[in-house]
């Protein structure tokens, strides 16, 4: 084989490997998040001390609640609020932040509403026929879809008035990164507080 052909083969192989790497990186895209927010008064509060509390029906000591509460706390601190949990303060926090979440399972191929899996607060397959009409599913069993929703409400402690609230939801196939509680919590919280406080009453899609 001529030397110039041997010299070009490694370059072609490297290019092929890079192309495959790019495809694998695009194989698990994160689904978008649907966000709706409401707030009253102007200007909307953007600072002050807060404590996170669970919405009705949730346990404050559960690992899953702490995961979502932690994600919400990080976003609020990024905006300018102060998480007073663990701080030795004389007066109670100025705000109470109620955090709720819900995870539901929609069986693969089901057209109806998801079935709740008991937490909360507030593709088809391809096949081929062989021989006498025997079908073989080459894609394996279709995976269920996990629907996850995060809800947050900021209340003024003094009179209990709700000053801001929002909901964020997303869906992902079971087993996908976006269906894992830790990843879902971070993504939902980041989308919910993106461009805080947001347009009141408007529903948007956050990539």
Q: Is residue 206 part of a domain?
A: no
Q: Is residue 15 part of a domain?
A: no
Q: What is the pLDDT of residue 142?
A: 76
Q: What is the pLDDT of residue 127?
A: 32
Q: What is the pLDDT of residue 156?
A: 95
Q: Nearest to residue 192, comparing CAs of 151, 161, 141, 156?
A: 151
Q: Is the pLDDT of residue 154 over 90?
A: yes
Q: Is residue 19 part of a domain?
A: no
Q: Which residues contact 47 (CB under 8 A, 6 or more apart)?
A: 80, 81, 82
Q: Which residues contact 200 (CB under 8 A, 6 or more apart)?
A: 37, 38, 39, 40
Q: What is the pTM of this model?
A: 0.72
Q: How many CB atoms lie within 10 A of CB 151?
A: 23
Q: How do 81-83 and 48-54 pair as beta strands?
A: parallel
- The residue among 87 and 72 whose pLDDT is bigger is 72
pLDDT digits (tens, 9 = 90+) for 175-197: 888 889 899 999 999 999 999 99
- % residues pLDDT > 70 (the chain): 70
Q: Which residues contact 100 (CB under 8 A, 6 or more apart)?
A: 54, 55, 56, 57, 58, 120, 121, 122, 150, 151, 152
Q: Sorting pLDDT into bands at 50, 70 and 90, what band is 118? A: very low
**Is the distance from CB of 193 to CB of 78 less than 8 angstroms?**
yes
The answer to whether the bond into 197 is cis (omega within 30° of 0) is: yes
Domain of 120 in residue numbering reads as 28-197
Q: Is residue 78 part of a domain?
A: yes
Q: How far is CA 191 from CA 72, 87, 133, in A?
A: 11, 28, 48
Q: Is the pLDDT of residue 13 over 80?
A: no
Q: Is the pLDDT of residue 39 over 70?
A: yes
Q: Is the pLDDT of residue 130 over 50?
A: no
Q: What is the CATH number of the domain that holds 83?
A: 3.30.160
Q: Sorting pLDDT into bands at 50, 70 and 90, what band is 121? A: low
**Count of structural domains, the chain:** 1
Q: What is the pLDDT of residue 178?
A: 81
- Mean pLDDT over each residue of the chain, to the nearest integer: 78
Q: Is residue 80 part of a domain?
A: yes
């Amino acid at each position: 084989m001529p030397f110039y052909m041997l010299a070009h083969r490694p370059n072609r192989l490297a290019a092929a490997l890079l192309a495959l790497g790019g495809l694998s990186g695009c194989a698990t895209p994160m689904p978008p998040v649907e966000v709706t927010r409401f707030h009253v008064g102007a200007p909307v509060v953007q600072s002050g001390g807060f404590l996170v509390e669970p919405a009705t029906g949730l346990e404050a000591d559960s690992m899953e609640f702490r995961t979502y509460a932690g994600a919400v706390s990080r976003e609020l601190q990024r905006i300018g609020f102060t998480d007073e949990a663990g701080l030795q303060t004389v007066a109670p926090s100025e705000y109470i932040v109620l955090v709720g979440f819900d995870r539901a399972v929609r069986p693969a191929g089901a057209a109806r509403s998801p079935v709740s899996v008991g937490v909360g607060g507030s593709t088809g397959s391809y096949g081929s026929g062989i021989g006498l009409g025997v079908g073989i599913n080459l894609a394996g069993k279709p995976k269920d879809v996990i629907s996850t929703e995060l809800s947050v409400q900021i209340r003024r402690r003094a009179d209990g008035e709700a000053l801001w609230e929002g909901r964020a939801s997303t869906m992902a196939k079971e087993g996908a990164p976006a269906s894992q509680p830790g990843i879902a919590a971070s993504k939902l919280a980041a989308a919910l507080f993106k461009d805080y406080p947001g347009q009141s009453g408007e529903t948007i899609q956050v990539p």
